[in-house]
Amino acid sequence: MVIYGMNSHDKIRVCVVGATGFAGAEVCRFVLGHPVFELTFATDRKAAGTPLSEVYPAFSGISDISLSAPDPDAIVSAADIAFLAVPHTASLALTPSLIERGVTVIDLSADYRIKDPHIYESWYKAKHTSTDLLTQAVYGLPELNRKELQALSVRYKQGEAVLVAAPGCYPTATALACMPALESGVVKGDFVISDAISGVSGAGRAPSARTHYCHANESVEAYGVASHRHIPEMEQTLSQVAGRAISVVFTPHLAPLTRGLLATVYLPVNESVTQNELQRIYERRYASEPLVSVLAYSNMPRTGSVAGSVRAQIGLALDARLHHMAIVSCAIDNLGKGAAGQAVQAANIVCGLPEMAGIDVAAPVI
């Protein structure tokens, strides 16, 4: 294993498993522009032998890497870190072998996010086959678990393979919108409402009847109502933040956007809380966070301001007219802060690198 130290010429070898999916391709994009990470292996079971640049011409002239089959032996010989941009259960089949053989895993699937295997099995309808790793995995939301990721860094630098469970896109935006209010203790009650809208790329590269252009264009619809698999992940995270059990009423929506996600949460707060106090709570909480910006009071974020980046923008207002409700919106790129970019952010911390290495980019202005 190559450990990044004082020598600026040291490289950390990276494999991306599932490199042709949207999240996997985004990980490749960030890694190819990274000062320390080096893309040495990329896999796709169906497209093995095909140049990555043939699947995504945007990589022409940037990378000449060809896709390989996701063979554990080949990954172990080629990489120090593996980003797994794969569907749930696929990580269960690969992660234990990689960890055991010394490869650090940044898992973008849901397989190691939920600490209770029974809850995972209930929502994902699959047997969890490596429950021993659940206690080792760190949920990779840096704004919440930076210290835990830094603790992994100590182990990584000692030559140990570690596991990061990268958060889902909806849970990321919902958590960022809720954390300051829940941490401060101003929220009443034990449930949160989250309404969220995502672009079509959040559904993955494989088309479906719902995501086909003719169905998704010029139309917005709710889906997975009261049954979306991200609900237990949200409840686990928000309960951790609040220090008590929090239930989530979550309604996701599909919008005719290529990328971008907007989550608006509703939090009943104490009647004594003022607009200025609420704004200060959020500004103080995120003052030192490099990727989270809090907009001026009642200014709400838009997905176009963060699309293509790893940044998050938050806007809030207080509706004192009805139940003293805090209304907080968080805009992220579902593939950036919601997936690939956040995975690289967590990997930077684990590897002891500057947290913003390779991801400190602004969104396109138009």
Taking alpha carbons only, the member of 130, 72, 69, 134 closest to residue 101 is 72
Rounded CA separation 121/108 (Å): 18
Q: What is the rounded distance in angstroms from the CA atom of residue 355 to the CA atom of residue 344?
A: 9
- Write down the catalytic residue from 15, 28, 169, 330: 169
What's the chain's length in residues? 366
d(CA 121, CA 251): 21
Q: Is 169 a catalytic residue?
A: yes
Backbone φ and ψ of 68, nearest 5°? -125, 165
Distance (Å) of CA 4 to CA 9, 38, 160, 215, 247: 9, 12, 14, 48, 41
**Cβ atoms of residues 98 and 114 within 8 Å:** no
Residues 6+ apart with CB under 8 A from 57: none
Which H or E run contains 82?
strand 81-84
Query: Left (φ > 0), alpha (ψ -120 to 50) or beta: where does 283 sit?
Result: alpha
Distance of alpha carbon 196 from alpha carbon 228, whole angstroms? 12
Give the active site residues: 169
